Structure 1
Amino acid sequence: MKQQAHAEDPPKDYEDLIRLIHERHDQMSKTYQRISVYLTQNPNDVAVQSVNTIAEHCGIHASSFVRFAQALGYKGFKELQALFQKRLATAAPGFEARVRALGNELQNREDRSEYGFLHDLVVRDIASLQDMLERIGAEDLSTATDLIEAADTVYLIGQLRSAPVVDLLRYILTMLGKRCVLLDPGGGLATHMARTMRPGDVLIAVSFRFYATEVVNIVEEAEKTGVPIVAISDSTLSPLAKSARVLFAVPEHDYTFSRSLAAPMCLAQALTVAVAARVQQNMTAPRIPTVTGA
């Protein structure tokens, strides 16, 4: 979509718009791809903020957002934005109020002490967790749990900031008796270790912007060999998306020098609790074993 002609019939609802963005994403210019990622990750902000505010946050000129909308067949950005506003108006009861309350609370805070930083992070993490709860589907959780439970070996990969998520998964799944292999980049063997995966295994891959090249390459290679992939990433436009049997898109909100892992860590725990319930045949109160002793 490098400045291509207007679409004849632009999408009339949010779901169709997102579907169209996914279809065209690979053919878009780099600027349009950045706009696409922002729109899909921050639908609530898109609904309530001006195009100038959105553009400033992205570091992209507002006119690019207007041209992006026109390339999809809309008269301008406001017409596209109306779909996001309609989605927000029909969201779960109370959700819009929570979004506004969060914005007001953070905007009006004057406490810049160490405790103030803690307060802001906790408030934002609560909002992120609530957002994830409304995005993650029960069917995807069930399918991912099926794949992990049935796998001969669970392979795990996550580098840089994603590493703590796969470390937690390895610990809990190992304690549950699942055979796990961490594709550790140490020694340069991760890619070679990944080639031992078989279709009866499962690969859990975790990667956020800016996606680690080795993780993306291993995921693509695993798909070609028939290994099912459960991916945790930050967007449905993530390079992991096209290869994943199940994709959990956990949007990250760029509000600090270090983006929070609260939501993906919570999701990882939820997956392992679900596996524990299956393994222990205890859907009421599954327990995750812990290491005891001196």
Structure 2
Amino acid sequence: MEELIHKLQHRVVELTQAQRRIADYIVQNPMEVAFLTVDKLASKVGTSTATIMRFSAAVGYSGFSELQKELQLNMKHKAAPQTRLEANLKHSNKSKLLHNHVELQFNNIQYSLDNITEETFQHIVEKIANSRQVLCTSVRSGRAVGEYLSLGINRLLGNCQYIDADQSDWVDELVHLNSSDLIIAVSYPRYAKRIKDMLEVAKSYDVEVLLITDSYSSPLTKYANYVLPCSSASIGSHNSIVAAIFIVDFILSALAINDPERTKPRLDKINNILTKMSYHTTH
């Protein structure tokens, strides 16, 4: 991004008014532009694809794809834990860490609520409930979200399992899935290739995909039928799962409440077995 801004600064006087609008949009929305097609970018800026291509050449690139590659590399670098920590250290106030953390997490949750409609929530809950089989998958920072959601769905409905995308076992499971099934994938920057591989295969089998990721700009959204954007911003170096846990916790609550005739008998049976096993301590 710094390289692109450097080029813009040196050539801005040579740009047309339309090209300057493109430059402004890229600087303000670098992550989005990094994964847009040239047609979609032209539509968003209100210009033509030819103007996008001329702009790319005017600022020193062989084409729009080369400009995009630089943006994508920059996104990966910014998403690296050490880079995020360095950036956060520059702006952190150690005496207000808790306050800053709380404020950021409220913002993360609000971002999800602003970008997910009630209708979308309802449709996703119905899709999970009506699926023959649900497979949850994630890696690394998304693992806690995937495992929590998988455990909750299976406890309520009995049709869900968790698969670690880093393990090749998902291949054995996926070949049995079809359009009546659902894969729920959790992926944060820097977006593991194993998740991408799995979703590509899923689409080839017509399996529908629900993606929980940090934003609509995630490169994995092109494989998804449904997207739940959950910001993973933190005041440290890690991908935060607070917003995602908030959202999936609501989904589990909605599944339980929307169909008590199905969920309550199952929970009663599970509880009876655990009681007979004296699974829970009485003290």
Q: How would you bin the TM-score normalised by the shorter chain?
A: 0.5 to 0.7
> Which one is further off, 172-181 or 248-257?
248-257
Kept in 1: contact 2:184–2:210 (CA 8 A): yes
Q: CA deviation at 1:200?
A: 0.7
CA distance in 1 between partners of 2:157 and 2:150 (Å): 11
Taking a change above 3 Å as real, the CA distance of residues 229 and 110 of structure 1, as seen in their structure-2 partners, is closer
- Give the aligned partner of residue 147 of structure 2: 167
Contact 1:232 1:264 in 2 (8 A): yes
Output aligned runs, 1:250-261, within 5 Å.
250-261=230-241
SS at match of 1:181: strand
Structure-2 change in CA distance of 1:218 and 1:34 (3 Å): same
Other-structure match for 1:249: 229
SS where residue 136 of structure 2 aligns? strand
Closer, same or farther: CA 260–186 of 1 in aligned 2, 3 Å: closer
Matched pairs, number: 223
Whose Rg is larger?
2
What code does the residue aligned with 1:159 have? Answer: V
2:191 counterpart (211, 219, 237): 211
The aligned residue for residue 269 of structure 1 is 249
Q: Report the counterpart of residue 210 of structure 2 in structure 1.
A: 230
SS at match of 1:145: helix
Tell me, yes or no, if structure 1 residue 33 matches structure 2 residue 72: yes
Contact 1:37/1:235 (8 A) holds in 2: no
2:101 aligned partner: 121
* Separation of aligned partners in 2, 1:117 and 1:58: 14
**3-state SS of the aligned residue for 2:157?**
coil
- Report the structure, 1 or 2, having the larger helix content: 2
Distance 1:269 1:138 in 2: 15
Query: Highest relative contact order (Cα 8 Å, sep 6+), 1 or 2?
Result: 2
Q: Tell me by how many angstroms 1:266 deviates.
A: 0.8
1:110 and 1:209 map into 2 onto residues whose CA distance is 26
Distance apart, 1:34 and its partner CA = 5.8
Specify which of 117, 123, 126 is matched with residue 143 of structure 1: 123
Cα separation, partners in 2 of 1:110 and 1:232, compared to 1, 3 Å: closer
* Alpha-carbon distance, 1:219 to partner: 0.7
Q: Structure 1 residues 134-143 or 147-156, which shifts more?
A: 134-143
Q: Is the 8 A contact 1:154 1:178 kept in 2?
A: no
Q: What is the RMSD of the two structures over their aligned residues, measured on CA atoms? A: 4.2
CA–CA separation in structure 2 for the residues paired with 1:233 and 1:251? 7
Q: Matched residue of 1:183: which SS?
A: strand
CA distance in 2 between partners of 1:20 and 1:177 (Å): 40
Could you tell me which residue of structure 2 aligns to residue 98 of structure 1?
Answer: none
Q: Distance in 2 between matches of 1:37 and 1:136?
A: 26
> Which one of the candidate residues 151, 171, 183 is aligned to 1:191?
171
1:34–1:128: structure 2 CA closer, same or farther, 3 Å change rule? farther
Q: Deviations over 1:74-119 (max 9, x none)?
A: xxxxxxxxxxxxxxxxxxxxxxxxxxxxxxxxx79552xxxx6444
Aligned equivalent of 1:73: none
Which blocks of at least 5 consecutive residues in structure 2 are unaligned? Answer: 8-14, 42-63
Would the aligned equivalents of 1:191 and 1:214 in 2 still touch at CA under 8 Å?
no
Residues 57/155 of structure 1: CA separation in 2 closer, same or farther (3 Å cut): closer
Q: Percent identity?
A: 18
Secondary structure at 2:164 match in 1: coil
| Equivalent residue number for residue 37 of structure 2 | 23
What TM-score does the superposition give when structure 2 sets the normalisation length? 0.64
> 1:34 and 1:188, CA in 2 relative to 1: closer, same or farther beyond 3 A?
closer
2:259 and 2:139 map into 1 onto residues whose CA distance is: 28
Say which SS state the counterpart of residue 29 (structure 1) adopts.
helix
Q: Map Cα deviations across residues 34-54 of structure 1 (whole Å, 9 max, x no partner).
A: 67899xx9xxxxxxxxxxxxx
Partner SS state of residue 184, structure 2? strand
- Call closer, same or farther: CA 1:189–1:108 in 2, change over 3 Å: closer
CA contact (8 A) 2:84 2:237 kept: no
Q: 1-side partners of 2:92 and 2:220: how far apart? A: 38
Q: How do 1:172-183 residues align onto structure 2 when only pairs under 5 Å count?
A: 172-183=152-163
